[in-house]
Amino acid sequence: MLKRRSDFQRVYRTGRSWANRYFVLYVFKTDCLDGKVGFAAGKKLGCAVVRNRVKRLLRESYRKNQAMIRPGLALLLVGRKGMVDVKCDVVEKSFVSLGRKAGIFIDSASPDRKKEK
């Protein structure tokens, strides 16, 4: 997991970003931060309880799909205001669709299809 401020800043500055109404996904191709992921929720989202819930939703969405993510990537997931009132399954579907756009999954097949087989 990304913990240090310098690692977060490196992914922010040099990574590519994709966004939807629920969160922003930053992708940084690297060897030194291989397989690391960070989660962020700014103070504009609300109080600490709300920000922690947003980060929990992001972590759970990542956890369910982490087996399908290509190696050699560092990810940063930043919550947006739209995520405050949604359920976990909505966030997970959003993560999968945004991940496909960003090309972070091993193949073009959906992670949902892999689970069904």
Q: What is the pLDDT tens value at each position of the chain, 117 positions in all?
A: 888 888 888 888 888 999 999 999 999 988 777 788 999 999 999 999 999 999 999 999 999 998 999 988 989 999 999 999 999 999 999 999 999 999 999 875 444 544 544
Q: Residue 29: which domain range?
A: 5-116
- Integer Cα distance of 110 and 39 in angstroms: 23
Q: Residue 64: what pLDDT?
A: 93
Number of domains in the chain: 1
CATH number at residue 101: 3.30.230.10
Helix or strand or coil: residue 79? strand
- Integer Cα distance of 17 and 2 in angstroms: 17
Q: Which residue has the tokens 């997931």?
A: 77
Give the CA-trace dihedral at 35, 82, 93, 68, to 10 degrees.
0
